[in-house]
């Protein structure tokens, strides 16, 4: 796979940073605080990657727009109550990103997070300078709509055949499929390898740092 790509687009939560359990906790807390009840744990994980509004609508289909707005406020308050640090990145991820950039790859992020949430995470982990561009769900279409990938590809000025999407959820891989670009799954986040394989990734890795061996082998 050496030199097969010019642009590598990463999901954030569950792909580069070990945040899936915390996000699921906050989604469950939001349901409890709204008096609706906490969703099942896997159900909470299943919506990670969607925009927060779409995630709440999927978890709580009976909630009207007003209730969804309250759920989002409770979620945001819970999520931002915990500071992020470089230690929250999966082991070896920072060095992997530095290596990929040094090797000439353009790197980008496509995430279901809000812009405020991603900017805080990038600053807290010291990774902002490693990415040529980022897109968040509150400034473009939510996954699995491929719009954010189209925008990142246009920004990088590369052919889509030279782009790789890396993600831990079916929403990431379905988005890549919808954009007609190659994908690699990582089974360390929201969804298991069995679920990820539904969307025909080139490979399913057990941890994100295995990407280096895969694309440079």
144 with 202, same domain: the answer is yes
Nearest one of 177, 164, 159 to 205, comparing CA atoms: 164
Q: pLDDT tens per residue, the chain (217 residues)?
A: 567 899 999 999 999 999 888 999 999 999 999 888 989 999 999 888 888 888 999 999 988 999 999 999 999 999 888 899 999 999 999 999 999 999 999 999 999 999 999 999 999 999 999 999 999 999 999 999 999 999 999 999 999 999 999 999 999 999 999 999 999 999 998 888 999 999 999 999 999 999 999 988 7
Q: In what order do the strands lie in the sheet with 182-186?
A: 133-136, 106-111, 7-10, 163-167, 182-186, 204-205
> What CATH number is associated with residue 56?
1.10.150
Q: What is the pLDDT of residue 2?
A: 62
Looking at the structure of the chain, the number of domains it has is: 2
Which residues are known to be catalytic? 11, 13
Q: What is the pLDDT of residue 189?
A: 84
Q: 4: which residues sit within 8 A by CB, 6+ positions away?
A: 162, 164, 215
Q: Which domain holds residue 147?
A: 7-17+89-216
- 7 three-state secondary structure: strand
Interhelix angle for 147-156 vs 170-179, to 10°? 60
Judge whether 1 lies within some domain. no
49 touches 149 (CB < 8 A)? no
Cα angle 106, 100, 15 (rounded to 5 degrees) comes to 90
Judge whether 2 lies within some domain. no
Q: What is the pLDDT of residue 30?
A: 93
Exposed, middle or buried: residue 3 (CB in 10 Å: 0-12, 13-18, 19+)? exposed
- Structure pTM? 0.91
> What CATH number is associated with residue 183?
3.40.50.1000
103 with 55, same domain: the answer is no
């Amino acid at each position: 796979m050496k030199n097969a790509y010019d642009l590598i687009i990463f999901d954030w939560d569950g792909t580069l940073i070990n945040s899936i359990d915390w996000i699921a906790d906050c989604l469950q807390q939001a349901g409890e605080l709204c008096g609706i009840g906490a969703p099942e744990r896997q159900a909470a994980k299943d919506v990670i990657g969607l925009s927060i509004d779409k995630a709440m609508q999927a978890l709580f289909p009976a909630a009207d727009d007003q209730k969804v707005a309250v759920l989002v406020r409770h979620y945001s308050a819970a999520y931002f109550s915990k500071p992020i640090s470089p230690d929250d990145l999966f082991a070896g991820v920072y060095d992997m990103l530095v290596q990929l950039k040094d090797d000439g790859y353009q790197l980008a992020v496509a995430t279901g997070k809000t812009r405020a949430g991603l900017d805080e995470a990038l600053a807290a982990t010291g990774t902002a300078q490693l990415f040529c561009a980022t897109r968040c769900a509150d400034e473009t279409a939510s996954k699995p709509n491929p719009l954010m990938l189209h925008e990142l590809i246009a920004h990088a000025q590369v052919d889509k055949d030279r782009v790789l999407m890396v993600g831990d959820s079916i929403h990431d891989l379905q988005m890549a499929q919808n954009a007609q670009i190659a994908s690699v799954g990582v089974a360390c986040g929201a969804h298991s390898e069995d679920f990820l394989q539904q969307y025909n990734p080139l490979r399913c890795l057990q941890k994100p740092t295995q990407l280096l061996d895969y694309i440079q082998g």
